[in-house]
Structure 1
Amino acid sequence: MTTAVVPETSTGTLPETSAVANRGVWHTVRYWLGNWKLTTGLILIIGLTAFSIIGSFLVDFDRTRVASGPFNAAPSAQYLFGTDNVGRDIWALMIHGIYPSLKVGLIAGVIGTAVGVVLGITAGYYGGTVDAVVSTTADIFLTIPSLLILIVLASYVRTTTIEFTALVIAIFAWAGPTRLMRSQTLSLRERAFIPLAKLSGQGDFEIAIRQILPNLLPYIMAGFVGAVSGAILALVGIQILGLGPLFTPNLGMILQAAYQGAAIFRGMWWWWLPPTVALMIIFISLFLISIALDELANPRLRERAK
């Protein structure tokens, strides 16, 4: 009785799957260069981030402090976006507040996506009891009103920082990516290259890293974008309620101060409009990126978009 020998490269990767991976990488690069939604979204989010980071070196942080300028001043050459009811420069608050808001989304998104990838691949690959436990836990976290829990946690902490707020938000940021990674891993587990990889001597960890993970990249990026968007929205929600970071400017803090100061009813549009526009740009850019990544992962959507 003869035994089939599966050819193996010097690195231990199956030639067939290696070729598929290479084609996938080049396909992804070509898609990124040619998709206007992805390009527009990246330009918007990168431009806004650069505006905040570069501007923070040019605009004095002291202008964000209370009584650093006249109260309720309308936009002028000296105060481009005017001042609020305690004399803070809105232009300075915007410049120093955009990046911390994005930072919360980035930290929570990275943590949530990383945990989701590990748990999702583990549950989808092994199945059985592991899958049942992970799936049930993720479903529970998805049904819990996360904003309510965040409000309770934030109310018990007297002094919060941007980093602490991001970690708290990340507690609920993993469930969505976990469900997404699990469902895709369940599909990949049935593909022909997984049994071939096992026959070639690859272990479970090696299969997860070299065979499954590369095929999940579009879904990982889509899950990350969704987690970032949800984290920023959560930050704005708890900040408007007055439970977010008190000493670090962010977009939610500006809106919370404008709400408490009745800026809309007093006709102080320069107080609430700039942070609202900035948040709209952030969410629109993330939405465009998310659509583009969905099209990358779903051939039917790509054909429909053409």
Structure 2
Amino acid sequence: MKSFASRIIRWQRHHGRHTLPWQTSRNPYPIWLSEIMLQQTQVATVIPYFVRFVARFPDLPSLAAAHEDEVLALWSGLGYYSRARNLHAAARTIVAQGGDFPASPGAIAQLPGVGRSTAAAIAALAFGQPCAILDGNVKRVLARHAGIAGWPGHKQTEAALWQLAESYLPHTAIEAYTQGMMDLGALVCTRSQPACATCPVNTDCIAHTQHRTAELPAPRPKKTLPEKQVQMLLLFDRGELMLEKRPSHGIWGGLWSLPELAFDADPAIHCRNRFGFTALTQQVLPQLSHSFTHFKLHIRPVRLQLMPRHTDSPGQAWLPLADVLDAALPAPVRKLVTQLDGN
């Protein structure tokens, strides 16, 4: 029987993905950008963001020279915004050090926001470095093929998968093998209803031959997400909406958002005490919920029409409603503004 790697390589060359927008060359910049965007995010979601991003920032110097607000605005809606801030910081670091993208997985892993698997993928696809990757799709392929039980997020299970991934590495065609492993997990060895009949390694796949694809890999242990409640204020004055710049760290770090207050607080009193604004009218809008990795947020939007303001404060911006969507907004705030715009 042919080796595991040779079967993956042959399958990728005939059935894998070859027309993704970051596959046009071995330039490390678009490969790095795509790998960062693809962290926790599906290819179909990433493609339009990637296309817009490289149209505005076609290379490292243009990204490094950009203002963080513009980077975050192009990322708005893609989520996990620390990725965008790390990407921007890494570009500035690389340019400051001469502009050459690092070629070894160890050096790539030193960049902000780049872990072991992401560094290996960039090194393999851009530079042909023989290093193993272990993203979510690859974990699933390996766990099923070798019959490795346990949730891949557990250290012991992950260590076994890393050892297996490294043992399967070929000596040649590392780019095709690396892309093939990602493609196989995305297109064939899917989480539910995998297409085992078309898999190039099905003959010796334990999950397939033992009818265990539904149980391998083991799912993440279930955990009840805590729920939080907050009010968000849509403060209007002379047709303009007020946005606040969030701190650079934490949820939605560096984005423009809406003022928040406790769920049981009085919006008009909060508005007067915090900002010195007097609310003429107040309207509670339908509640909106948004799920994060570690908690679920319930938002009560409150629209307030203010008496004309007199001064602006640092970290605030007043924008016509038509211009607000051009700002770097969190997804639920973008949804709220879109609904307002539709009304």
Q: TM-score of the superposition, structure 2-length normalised?
A: 0.27
- Determine which structure has the larger strand proportion and give its number: 2
- Determine which structure has the larger helix proportion and give its number: 1
